[in-house]
Structure 1
Amino acid sequence: MPPRKDPDASVSVPSFYGSELRYQREQAGLTLQATVEGSYYGVSYLSEIERGQRRMPKDLAVHCDKLLKTDGFFERHCEAVHKARGTGHAEYFADALEMEQRAESIEEWAPTLIPGLLQTADYARAIVRAAMPRASDEEVEKLVAARVSRAAVFDGEGAPKFWAILDETLIRRRVLPDEQMANLLEHIAEVVKATHSILQVLPESAGAHPLMTGELRVMTFADEPPVAYAESLHSGQLIDYPALVKQYRESYDLLRAAALSPAASLALIEAAAEDYRNGKQRTRLE
């Protein structure tokens, strides 16, 4: 067995917090399994917190404080640790964002917004500014940087297999000037090709379908059960109940069947990019 690699507590606040959690657990003579017993979390979840890779939920912090007799230390500081991450993302997206970093596959349905992993800075800026018209330029740029930085998940050997289904209206809706719309669609096509991802477009003619109520992503992992994440305006929900996740996956499969083929979808996006580039898309919309 290879020697255990302890996290470097000096790297970040989450690493320090996780290192302290491991120290207190081992001082108490408890295994990971013994520590999570009586909570709603698994061994891998707690292990990732100890490595500074995942945030500590408040209810688990309370559980650990009680078990380890740490006088409320972990509860008092769990929110500060989360803030120290400086993710630039909404609070309700925090868990889904962390899971994204270790997912084996990500399957996403995008009815209203281009998925974050495929956005350009111009598109992200336009979306953020529309949602937060009173925000300062500094606040907007922080959110934009956080959004586009998510694409780094595709770097390296452990990149997730990505499958996205986009509603056709996302291609036709002109949220940017023509040149920037062309850049956005060309960027999407380039990312899909470079990462060997699969992209489908649900045509406007598809009619009723099983996922008409909002955005959805399903993530699978090497050593954890799959989860679903459903998002609507100003809120999001991470779903890990197996029966419900199975239903979401079945709905996504039905949506796949209703969408254009990957080849036809990519051709549609590239043709739309060329139309925007040549000013033809505006004429079609008019």
Structure 2
Amino acid sequence: MAKAKRKEVWVFFGELLKERRETAKMSRNELGARVFVSGTYIGLFEQGVRKPQLDVAQRIDEVLQTGGIFERTCRDLINASPYADYFHEVAELEAVATKLCEFAPTVVPGLLQTPEYMRAQILAMYPFASEAYIEEKVSSRIERQAILKEDATRPEYWAILHENVLRTPVGGPALMARQLDHLVALARQRRVLVAVIPREVGAHAHMTGTLKLMEFSDQPPTAYTETEYSGTLLDDPAVVKDAQRTYDLLRVAALSPEASLAMIESAAEDYRRCASTT
């Protein structure tokens, strides 16, 4: 299902939710209390700005006695997404965020990857995957990167990388040199602010998995954490505040942007020298 089409269905979802809620003579706060989200979130669902998770859609069906229409719609949209079940809503939120702050401990974040780096990473994870599967995954990541190309709507984007990201030669030294050159180019174009945490720092604030913070113009901030096979979108204000504090500590541990770019450029040169001798 095309991205524009998915957006239209979510808008329909919201309009139907508002209609059924008002028919049941419930306020947003009343419905929210019964499905364990805030009234503000019910309003965001109705506007098509936020997408409810499947368990919330199921509870809405139960409370409003809709015969499962919201669960079915939610499942259809999740199944139509090219992303993993736990990531499809995150991809939608990235597209409307005004600020993104990301920490990557082992691989380059998807928004900053070159297509050949994407392919190498996907092949490493799925060595028996079909070419069609790989192309679908690559295309979906490239589609996500469109948010960094529109000057009028581009989010402020901070990326903190552990030095391990630079020193792991995904796809070989020549490919890795081009990937690091791409990182530097994006930073020089002021499309992303990159900082690197050196290995010698040792223990740091977020030792496992990735961390992504997202801010918006018309809804509360969220946080997202991901490990190898699962991800969690965090909405609770207290938890998001803790995640923001963690990111502040990561930023303190990182090199300055200038020193970080120098390290990335040096690593790229090392890879080029290695590639030229093989």
How far apart are the structure 1 equivalents of 2:52 and 2:219? 18
1:72-221 pair list within 5 angstroms: 72-84=68-80, 86=81, 88-154=82-148, 155-221=150-216
How far apart are the structure 1 equivalents of 2:263 and 2:240? 31
Offset, 1:242: 3.0
What is the aligned-residue RMSD (CA, Å)?
Answer: 2.8
Gaps of 5+ in 1: 1-7
- Contact kept, 8 Å, 1:25 with 1:68, in 2: the verdict is yes
Aligned match of 2:244 in 249, 255, 260? Answer: 249
- Contact kept, 8 Å, 1:272 with 1:281, in 2: the verdict is no
> 1:174 is matched by which residue type in structure 2?
P
State the secondary structure of the residue aligned to 1:38: helix
State the secondary structure of the residue aligned to 2:266: helix
- The aligned counterpart of 1:46 is 42
Offset, 1:179: 3.0
How far apart are the structure 1 equivalents of 2:19 and 2:259? 55
How far apart are the structure 2 equivalents of 1:34 and 1:166? 43
Per-residue deviation, residues 88-144 of structure 1 (Å, max 9, x unmatched): 221112232222222222111111110111011111111111111121110111011
In structure 2, do the counterparts of structure 1 residues 156 and 44 end up closer, same or farther at CA, with 3 Å as the change threshold?
A: farther
State the secondary structure of the residue aligned to 1:183: helix
State the secondary structure of the residue aligned to 1:71: coil
Aligned match of 2:262 in 267, 270, 274? Answer: 267
How far apart are the structure 2 equivalents of 1:38 and 1:175? 48
> 1:123 is matched by which residue type in structure 2?
Y
In structure 2, do the counterparts of structure 1 residues 283 and 179 end up closer, same or farther at CA, with 3 Å as the change threshold?
A: closer
Question: Identity, % of aligned pairs?
Answer: 39
- TM-score between both structures, scaled by the size of structure 2: 0.85
In structure 2, do the counterparts of structure 1 residues 150 and 125 end up closer, same or farther at CA, with 3 Å as the change threshold?
A: same
State the secondary structure of the residue aligned to 1:107: strand
How far apart are the structure 2 equivalents of 1:78 and 1:33? 22
How far apart are the structure 2 equivalents of 1:251 and 1:74? 36
Offset, 1:64: 2.8
Mean Cα displacement is larger for which, 27-36 or 245-254? Answer: 27-36
How far apart are the structure 1 equivalents of 2:69 and 2:163? 50
How far apart are the structure 2 equivalents of 1:80 and 1:200? 39
Aligned match of 1:65 in 61, 69, 75? Answer: 61
- Contact kept, 8 Å, 1:10 with 1:16, in 2: the verdict is no
Gaps of 5+ in 2: none
Mean Cα displacement is larger for which, 58-67 or 224-233? Answer: 58-67
> 2:109 is matched by which residue type in structure 1?
P
State the secondary structure of the residue aligned to 2:86: helix
- TM-score between both structures, scaled by the size of structure 1: 0.83
State the secondary structure of the residue aligned to 1:164: strand
How far apart are the structure 2 equivalents of 1:250 and 1:105? 16
Q: Does 1:227 align with 2:222?
A: yes
> 1:229 is matched by which residue type in structure 2?
Y
Mean Cα displacement is larger for which, 262-271 or 223-232? Answer: 223-232
In structure 2, do the counterparts of structure 1 residues 62 and 11 end up closer, same or farther at CA, with 3 Å as the change threshold?
A: closer
Q: How many residues align?
A: 274
